[in-house]
C-alpha cells in the first residue's frame, strides 16, 4: 500500500486565496523576511501556495499598487527598495501625519475609541518594559494607527498607515540586533497625548504630537547616523 496524499487542508474557499497570498507576502516584506531588492518568482509562489499563477499575480498587482514591490515590464519583479536618499521626505510626511491625525482624534473621537487606544498603549508600555525593540515598533504603530482611526479621515489614515508600514520596514533594518530600546520617555509622551485627546484640547494635541513625532524622528536619525559610522569603519 502506497502513501496517499492526505493533504490536511487542501480545500481553500473560493476567493480567499488572493487575500491569503497578499497578507502573507505583505507581512514578509514588512518584516524583511523578503529583503528589499530580492526577486519574486510567480511560479515559485504558485507552487508554494498550491494554486495557479493567476491569483498570485493579482496579489502582486495589489502590492505593486501600494509600492511594496516594483515590476519591470516583461522582466523580473522584486521587493521595492528603501529610498534612503529621500528619507527627509518620509520624515516630513510622518511628522505632519502624526500631528494632523492626533489633532483630528482630539476633535472627533468617541468614547469607544479611547478604550482601543488605551489598550494599545498598555501593550506599548509592556514592550518597552520588556525591552523588545521589534514589539515597540509594531505596538507604537498600532497605537498611532488607532489614534488616526479615531480622527475619522480615511485620506489621512490611508497615507499614515502607509508611512507606518514603510517605517516598520526601515526600522527592522536597524533593530536586527535587539540591543536597542526606546526610552521610557515615549511611554509618558503617549500618556500625555492620550490625555489631551480625551480632553478634546485640539491645539495642545497638535503641539504634543509635533514634539513626539520630532523626538521619534530624531531617535531614528541618531540610530541611522550611528550605523553609518559603523559602515564607514568597515
Residues 153 and 104 sit within 8 Å (Cβ to Cβ): yes
Contact 104, 156 (CB under 8 A): yes
Please name the residue that has the C-alpha cell 499614515. Answer: 160
| Residue 53 binding partner per list DNA, its own copies, none, with a CB distance cut-off of 5 to 8 Å that depends on partner kind | DNA
Q: CB nearer to its own copies: give 30 or 100.
A: 100
Q: Crossing angle of helices 202-233/185-198, nearest 10°?
A: 160
CB of 99 to DNA, least distance (A): 38
For the chain, how big is the Rg over CA atoms in Å?
20
Q: Which one, of 48, 90, 44, lies nearest residue 67 by Cα?
A: 90
Q: Which of 2, 6, 7, 74 binds its own copies (CB under 8 A)?
A: 74
Segment near DNA (CB under 7 A); pick from 50-58, 104-112, 144-152, 157-165: 50-58
**162 interacts with its own copies by CB under 8 A:** yes
Per CB under 7 A, 40 contacts DNA:
yes
CA distance 227 to 214: 20
Contacts with DNA: how many residues (CB under 7 A)? 25
> Which strand (E) or helix (H) includes residue 87?
helix 87-108
At residue 201, φ and ψ (nearest 5 deg) are -90, 90
- Residue 41 or residue 188: which is nearer to DNA going by CB? 41
CB of 23 to its own copies, least distance (A): 15
State which residue, 37 or 158, has the beta carbon closest to its own copies. 158
Point out which span in 47-55, 81-89, 112-120, 213-221 binds DNA (CB under 7 A): 47-55
Residues 78-137 that bind its own copies (CB under 8 A): 86, 89-90, 92-93, 96, 100, 104
Sites of contact with DNA (CB under 7 A): 12-18, 40-43, 50-55, 57-58, 71, 73-77
Sites of contact with its own copies (CB under 8 A): 14-15, 54, 57-58, 61-62, 65-66, 73-74, 86, 89-90, 92-93, 96, 100, 104, 152-156, 158-159, 162-163
Amino acid at each position: 500500500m502506497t502513501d496517499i496524499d492526505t493533504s490536511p487542508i487542501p480545500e481553500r474557499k473560493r476567493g480567499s486565496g488572493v487575500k491569503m497570498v497578499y497578507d502573507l507576502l505583505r507581512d514578509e516584506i514588512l518584516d524583511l523576511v523578503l529583503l528589499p531588492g530580492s526577486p519574486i518568482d510567480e511560479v515559485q509562489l504558485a507552487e508554494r501556495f498550491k494554486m495557479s499563477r493567476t491569483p498570485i499575480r493579482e496579489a502582486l498587482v495589489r502590492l505593486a499598487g501600494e509600492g511594496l514591490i516594483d515590476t519591470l515590464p516583461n522582466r523580473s519583479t522584486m521587493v521595492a527598495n528603501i529610498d534612503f536618499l529621500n528619507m527627509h521626505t518620509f520624515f516630513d510626511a510622518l511628522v505632519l501625519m502624526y500631528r494632523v491625525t492626533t489633532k483630528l482624534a482630539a476633535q472627533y473621537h468617541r468614547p469607544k475609541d479611547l478604550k482601543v487606544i488605551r489598550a494599545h498603549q498598555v501593550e506599548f508600555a509592556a514592550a518597552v518594559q520588556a525591552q523588545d525593540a521589534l514589539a515597540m515598533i509594531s505596538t507604537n504603530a498600532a497605537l498611532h494607527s488607532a489614534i488616526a482611526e479615531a480622527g475619522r479621515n480615511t485620506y489621512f489614515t490611508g497615507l499614515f498607515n502607509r508611512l507606518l508600514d514603510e517605517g516598520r520596514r526601515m526600522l527592522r533594518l536597524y533593530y536586527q540586533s535587539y540591543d536597542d530600546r526606546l526610552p521610557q520617555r515615549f511611554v509618558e509622551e503617549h500618556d500625555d497625548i492620550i490625555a489631551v485627546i480625551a480632553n478634546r484640547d485640539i491645539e495642545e494635541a497638535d503641539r504634543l504630537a509635533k514634539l513626539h513625532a520630532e523626538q521619534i524622528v530624531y531617535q531614528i536619525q541618531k540610530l541611522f547616523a550611528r550605523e553609518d559610522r559603523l559602515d564607514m569603519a568597515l
